Structure 1
Amino acid sequence: MKRKLIAAIGVAGMMVSIAACGGSDSGDKKDETKGGGDKSLTVWVMDGSAPKEWIDGVNKEFEAAHPGTKVKVEVQQWTDIQTKVTTALSEDTPPDVLELGNTQTTGYAVTGGLADLTADKDKLGYANWSKGMLPSAELDGKLYAAPWWAASRVVIYDKAAFKKAGVTPPKTRDEWIDGLKKLKASDAKSQPIYLPGQSWYVLAGFLWDEGGELAVKDGDKWKGGLATPQAAAAMNFYKELQSFSTAPKDKDEATPQQSVDVVPKGGVSSWIGLGWEAGGAIAAIEKAGKKADLGYFPIPGKTADKPGSVFFGGSNLAVSERSKNQELAKEWLAFVTNKKQLESYGTANKGGIIPVDPSAQVQPEAGSFAEAMVKVAEVGRITPITGGWANVETEPNPIKGYMTKVLKGEDPQKAGEEADKVIAERINQQ
């Protein structure tokens, strides 16, 4: 769910190339699965998305049901993934199936890089899918991916540190700040919260709580929403939280990776992260010979009756338009997203994901990350659904730049106006 794209102009140019190549050779495309040729599939999944034992089991079962087929899984890193995907989709031998962030999918669909799956809805189980996940996989009435899973961030905390400071999980923003003050007073050498300056998914939730938006439709065009009182209020609260952290103001949560590069070293009482990050931190802490005793609570809201809004991230699975084994790829896609596999996927992730088929939801354990996440599912939101949104997340991401400027003292209105110009330019590119 950390999405990075190459420069907007580069995306536009490269994606036009994809569209041109993909649209001109459809009549000559060969599906080698029909002629007894190569029946191999290359699948790209993102680091942390698919537990090895689960994906190995899925592919073993699929290969048994499709004699002669070999599925090759290649694990990708989130850093600069959009650059890599953009390049891969323009080549003659792209991966057959790709895991894409739910904020990326329409950006690739609008340019012709993804296969149209509309005619395959029944095979894919479309009727059983969560309607809340569908918008990120559809564009102009056509289906370009199968939503796979969704998740949201929660606050992860060190139980021992909270107990020492006399802090209990807060339910409001005010209680949250009071708790951070107690943590700071209890242990001056530790960070009450680790919060990098550019965790823009966290900021998005604060913005939604204030009634604002990252971008809004203005007639036939889109415009940025950061030069607003709502964005200023959200950023001011973020700034207050960040004052309790020594994390860099010009980096995101992956630079360095908070879960395995920062938290395991100690000195962090709490942080905001995803389920796979919590799991990674626990593993790293225990590998270092220490005890990991973490607790979880929803990001607090402005009032106790409702938790804070969160970015409802997730991943979709798509088939490359230029795949040489497109029909077999679609069969793999249908297989991996059926109820049985989704249930086993949820079990492998200890209930830490929300599957596309609600009936496949695994009941989370009490006190688990998943339990805290489920509590915020109803206040989950997603970034603007438009083909141009992926361009907004291009590095340098204007939202990140806005955050760093404000944290370093620049006026939120001025910084917001500068960011909105870039957002408008990029989001209106199709």
Structure 2
Amino acid sequence: MKFRRLTLVCVSACLLAGCALVPSGGTERHTVTVWLMKGSASAQFLQRFTEEFERTHDDLDLDIRIQEWTGIGEKVQAALEAGGPGGPDVIEVGNTQVPQYVDGGGLLDLTLESLRDWGVRDWLPGLAEPGRQRSTQYGIPWYAANRVVIYRKDLFEQAGIAGPPKTREEWLAATEQLDSRGNQGIYLAGQDWYTLSGFIWDEGGDLAREDGGVWTGTLDTPAALRGMDFYRRLQALGDGPADADEEHPPQAGVFAGGKVAQIVAVPGQARAIVQQNPALDGALGFFPVPGESADRPGAVFTGGSDLVVPKNTDQRDGAVAVVEELAGAKWNTELARTMNYVPNKATLAGAVTGEEGVAAMAAGAAQGRATPSTPEWAAVEAENPIKEYMTRVLTGADPVTEARRASRRITEALAVPLG
């Protein structure tokens, strides 16, 4: 996405002289530099936001610079270490990336600002928790996205299923019923560990837990084992490969190419499905991943972005003002409507009820979680013993033995500081 930076038009003589921008009223203007990621917000949204922000903050100008996701980690770390003029004052980062920047000591503590009047109690936990270290808030939730169930309404109707299931047991029964009609009730790859994580959280388990600053893998707890057992039962109702994840092959293509009734994916996958099989246009529906009871959806892994402020900013007040506006109800709901995101608070979910897929995503996001809030989690994902554990269980190995093995490997990875 191309985005032209919005700058204040001033007389060329002042530009050449390098003088401060001082309006007729005598207020000196300062520039707040904001790094946002490519694709997070449309150029039209940023234009509207910038114009209103500058109009209501007569001492501030915005310099919004769009960044590529590729290589962003190293670029952000360099900016946090360098400081000085020209560096970013506000940065959009992936929610699960916040711990690594906190670990480097480069982020501003925003606890007082966020507790004051930013609605901290209503933030989605999957965005807020990775941005917090113990009781200190560094990352401010901006927007979220998570998995839902994409299903074929026609196959559900042909199988006599009145509507989307509300509980896990109803989900299993419906999927078995779809199978009995000659369909593939669900396509669920054997190594879709993000989906497994939701089932584990639903049971009260975790991938890893911290005690006194020490992280330990916990796939071998009774709760986590129950989550894996549900995954096994559901995965068996389709032909997903036991030794591959959802991208090998891409599950959207599998869904488009045959009589697959359901996949677990972000709603945006529906566009890819219809592009590959236009006959499915209008035939797709969405529902939240079911939970153990009908009163609330199941837990899901929540992706998305947080806003952070570098500790070395020389525009602290201006940076805080930008974060407050972008994460506030007005602009957050407008961003959600514009980009089909989940707003940063469950109380704002009504803003996206008009889009079936986004509404399903928002319902699940209220129960959302993120990966363990430690920078060393990246080392776990690099080798990902969770995937190997899943494959072994799905191909007949003893779940308890394999869970202990995977938990040990997680513990070992989390014990080695990144550097």
Q: TM-score, with normalisation over the residues of structure 1?
A: 0.73
Q: What corresponds to 2:305 in structure 1? A: 315
Aligned mate of 2:357, from 343, 351, 369? 369
Q: Distance in 2 between matches of 1:258 and 1:40?
A: 42
Report the counterpart of residue 6 of structure 1 in structure 2. Answer: none
Which of 161, 168, 173 lines up with 1:178 in the alignment? 173
Find the residue that maps to 2:396 and give its secondary structure.
coil
Aligned to 1:130: 122
Cα separation, 2, equivalents of 1:267 and 1:75:
37
The answer to whether the aligner puts 1:298 opposite 2:274 as a matched pair is no
The answer to whether the aligner puts 1:108 opposite 2:127 as a matched pair is no
Q: Cα distance 1:57–1:288, how it changes in 2: closer, same or farther (>3 A)?
A: farther
Q: 1:163 aligns with which of 157, 162, 166?
A: 157
Please give the per-residue CA displacement for 1:62-119, whole angstroms capped at 9, x wherever unaligned: 4666776431223526xx8657755775677876543333333123212224333346
Which among 394, 414, 417 is matched to residue 427 of structure 1? 414
Shift of 1:172: 3.1
Q: CA deviation at 1:145?
A: 1.8
Aligned to 2:25: none
- Per the alignment, in what secondary structure is the counterpart of residue 205 of structure 1? helix
In the alignment, is the contact (CA less than 8 A) between 1:115 and 1:144 conserved in 2? yes
Q: CA deviation at 1:162?
A: 1.4
- Give the aligned partner of residue 346 of structure 1: 336
- Distance in structure 1 (CA, Å) of the matches to 2:400 and 2:357: 36
Is 2:211 aligned against 1:212?
Answer: no
1:343–1:422 CA distance, 2 compared to 1 (3 A): same
Equivalent residue number for residue 355 of structure 1: 344
1:355 partner SS:
coil
* 1:338–1:308 CA distance, 2 compared to 1 (3 A): closer
Contact 2:168 2:293 in 1 (8 A): yes
Aligned-pair identity (%): 34
* Contact kept in structure 1, 2:349 and 2:359, CA below 8 Å: no
2:225 paired residue number: 232
Residue in 1 aligned with 2:92? 99
Unmatched segments (≥5 aa) in structure 2 = 1-18, 23-27
Question: RMSD value over aligned CA atoms?
Answer: 3.9
Q: Tell me which of the two structures has the higher relative contact order, counting C-alpha pairs closer than 8 angstroms and 6 or more residues apart.
A: 1
Q: What is residue 17 of structure 1 aligned with on the other side?
A: none
In structure 2, relative to structure 1, the CA distance for the partners of 1:82 and 1:73 (3 Å cut) is closer
CA contact (8 A) 1:104 1:390 kept: no
- Residue in structure 2 matching 1:147, options 110, 124, 141: 141
Amino acid of the structure 2 residue aligned with 1:201:
Y
| Structure 2 CA distance for partners of 1:294 and 1:94, relative to 1, 3 Å | farther
- The answer on whether the counterparts of 1:109 and 1:387 sit within 8 Å (CA) in structure 2 is no
2:114–2:120 contact (8 Å) kept in structure 1:
no
Indicate how the Cα distance of structure 1 residues 282 and 58 shifts in structure 2: closer, same or farther if over 3 A, else same.
same
Q: Which amino acid aligns with 2:337?
A: T
What letter is aligned with 2:382?
Answer: E
How far apart are the structure 2 equivalents of 1:101 and 1:108? Answer: 11
TM-score, normalization by structure 2: 0.75
Structure 1, unaligned stretches of length 5 or more?
1-31
Aligned to 1:282, which of 267, 271, 274? 271
**Contact map agreement 1:347 1:362 (CA 8 A) in 2:** no
> How far did 1:55 drift?
3.7
Distance 2:333 2:143 in 1: 11
In the TM superposition, residue 201 of structure 1 has moved relative to its aligned partner by 2.3
Report which of the two structures shows the higher radius of gyration computed on alpha carbons: 2
Question: Structure 1 residues 131 and 101 mapped into 2: Cα distance closer, same or farther (>3 Å)?
Answer: same
Partner of 1:270: 262
- The CA deviation at 1:341 is 0.6
- Contact residue 124 and residue 366 of structure 2 kept, 8 A: no
SS of match in other structure, 2:350: coil
**Contact 1:388–1:429 under 8 Å retained in 2:** no
* CA apart distance, 1:37: 11
Q: Is the 8 A contact 1:296 1:367 kept in 2?
A: no
Deviations 1:311-349 (A, max 9, x none): 344421123456687665444323312322112123224
Indicate if the aligned counterparts of 1:171 and 1:304 stay in contact, CA closer than 8 A. Answer: yes
Report if aligned partners of 1:152, 1:312 keep a CA contact under 8 Å in 2: yes
Seen in structure 2, the aligned counterparts of structure 1 residues 269 and 397 have a Cα distance that, compared at 3 Å, is same
Amino acid at match of 1:355: N
The equivalent residue for 1:335 is 325
